Amino acid sequence: MKGWLNIFWLGIKELRSVFSDAVMVLLIIYSFSLAIYAQAVSISESVNNASIAIIDEDQSTLSRAIANALYPPYFKQPVLITPTEVDDAMDQDKYMFVVSIPPQFEKDIRQHRQPAIQIDIDATAVTQASLGNSYIQNIINTEINYFINRSDTTPTSAVNLVQRRAFNPNGVGMWFGAINALINQISMITIILTGAALLREREHGTIEHLLVMPINAFQIVIAKVWANGLIILIAFSLCMLLIVENYLDVPIAGSRLLLVAGTSIYLFAAAAIGIFLATIARTMSQFALLLMMVIIPIMMLSGGMSPIESQPQIIQPATWFLPSRHYMAFSQAVVFRGAGLSIIWPQLLIMTGLGSTFFIASLALFRRSISANQ
């Protein structure tokens, strides 16, 4: 019983230490508010307000119809320019797309010829350029078909394709972006907080003060894990309620209690990784370098940026040892598909196993470092 009291009071000390650091508090607030919003809305899977210009050398009814079909919110209001302005405008990043309609375009269409429309694209914005090109081609083809047939009817096909989009009917990319950003922030802040807490004790010399007290290495480590984990869990819960659900309007299909429980398990695993890195590093600068080597793979290989199946075959087996991969699968299943415990229990079990492994390893290294210092 006395050992658990020691863990409780050590955790209270850690909470006071974190909240007395104004920079750390601001970092936590920013990471679970503005950072989530910025990442959620900045990565779009659709074209939005793309700048476009038109070179209309035909000045016909069809060419004007094509220009009028390019309207917000996909594109900005098209700007009419001359052919001599294209190069300078593209070099100065004025337009992402320039559509060149040749002379006699409508006449050639009436005579069933195949005139060419040139589309110049600024491909530095890779995603928007690729999607925007498809949008423009579809719009042009639709207007040409309407002009030829004098109606918006489409030819019947031998096969009737019926698409049903599950879990995200409107294809809102912001939903996935918000959850992915939140998971990335949890991973980063948890590892930073727990690792920095242990290194702060070592650099300030207070670790020796703790060791002369009737407490052991396990109590020191587990106190930092629960204290920092509690801070992140509260920040996560507030972020889900205020930012993700209310402000970004992302629906939560599954159990919120199950989501919080699974997040608690992942926080234990992420905190264990932070303690593990802190026992390897001797200074805060070394810890920062290790963070760069660890956090970036944790984010990129979790399955949020690209599906695990799309990653190189040689890397896919290694991602199994990342708790972030299993937490990503767990959170998406609960949030978007409304999965219950009977479906996501393997992810919870794997996260618990990986977290326990990292915790045992970090505890062993911490005890070894204490013995070496003594």
Distance CA 116, CA 121 (A): 16
With the CA atoms of 330, 332, 334 and 340 taken in that order, what torsion angle do they form, in degrees rounded to the nearest 10?
-50
- Write the DSSP assignment of 104-158 as a string of letters: THHHHHHTT-----EEEE-TTSHHHHHHHHHHHHHHHHHHHHHHHHTS------S
* Tokens, residue 285: 């600068």
Burial of 129 (0-12, 13-18, 19+ CB in 10 A): middle
Q: Quote the pTM value.
A: 0.78
Q: What is the pLDDT of residue 344?
A: 92
Check residue 205 and give its pLDDT. 66
pLDDT score, position 210: 66
Pick the closest to residue 120 from 141, 77, 91 (CA basis).
91
**Structural domains of the chain, with CATH:** 2-43+171-373 (no CATH), 52-149 (3.40.1710.10)
Q: How many residues does the chain have?
A: 374
With beta carbons less than 8 A apart as the criterion, state whether 191 and 291 touch. yes
Q: How many helices (H) and strands (E) does the chain have?
A: 15, 4
281: closest CA among 299, 293, 264, 296?
293
From first to last of its 374 residues, the chain has per-residue pLDDT tens of 677 888 888 888 888 888 888 888 998 999 998 889 888 877 666 677 888 999 999 999 898 999 999 888 888 889 999 988 888 888 888 898 999 999 999 888 888 888 989 999 987 876 777 788 888 999 999 888 888 887 555 556 678 888 887 777 776 777 888 888 898 899 999 999 898 888 887 776 666 666 667 777 788 888 888 999 999 999 999 999 999 888 888 888 889 999 999 999 999 999 999 999 988 888 888 888 888 888 888 888 888 777 888 888 888 888 999 999 999 999 989 998 888 999 999 999 999 999 999 999 988 888 887 665 55
Residues 6 or more apart whose CB falls under 8 angstroms from that of 193 comprise 18, 24, 228, 231, 232, 271, 274
First to last CA, the chain: 28
Q: Collapse the DSSP code of 171 into the 3-class scheme (helix H, G, I; strand E, B; otherwise coil) and give the result.
A: coil
d(CA 295, CA 97): 37
Distances (CA, A) of 276 to 94, 200, 304, 352, 362: 50, 15, 24, 16, 4
How many C-beta neighbours within 10 Å does residue 156 have?
6
